Amino acid sequence: MNGMRIDKYLKVSRLTKRRETAKELCDDGDIFINGKTAKPMSEVAPGDELVLLLGKHKVTAKILVVKEFARKDEAKEMYEIIKDEIISRGGEDNGQPRD
């Protein structure tokens, strides 16, 4: 198998717990494939770079393998974490002076 929908890949690889969660992240613009905003039906393949904005984490991962199913111990072999950063998501400080 060469490609797979991003929402399914995130569930199978256990980067997200549920496919619905992956879909919501895509709909919110929090998933990027090779620098482009992902839709739930966007295809991923080995070699693609993912950026996931998960709360205050910005996780960058490289896809190594695409599988229809993976056991928990196999799931971590499907990708390599390149970077895991703590980020500010904005909105906390709107630049207004405080009273």
pLDDT per residue over 2-61, tens digit each?
A: 789 999 999 999 999 999 999 999 999 999 999 999 999 999 999 999 999 998 999 999
Cα–Cα distance measured from residue 35 to residue 87, given in angstroms and rounded to the nearest whole number: 17
pLDDT at 98 over 90: no
- At residue 1 the predicted structure's pLDDT band, cuts being 50, 70 and 90, is low
Cα–Cα distance measured from residue 45 to residue 65, given in angstroms and rounded to the nearest whole number: 8
Beta strand residue intervals within 1-99, DSSP E: 4-5, 31-33, 36-37, 43-44, 49-54, 57-63, 79-86
DSSP three-state, residue 23:
helix
66: left (phi over 0), alpha (psi -120 to 50) or beta: beta
Q: Which CATH class is domain 4-86?
A: alpha beta
Query: What's residue 95's pLDDT?
Result: 43
What number of other Cβ atoms are within 10 A of residue 93's Cβ?
8
Condensed to tens digits (0 to 9), the pLDDT of residues 48-86 reads 999 999 989 999 999 999 999 999 999 999 999 999 999
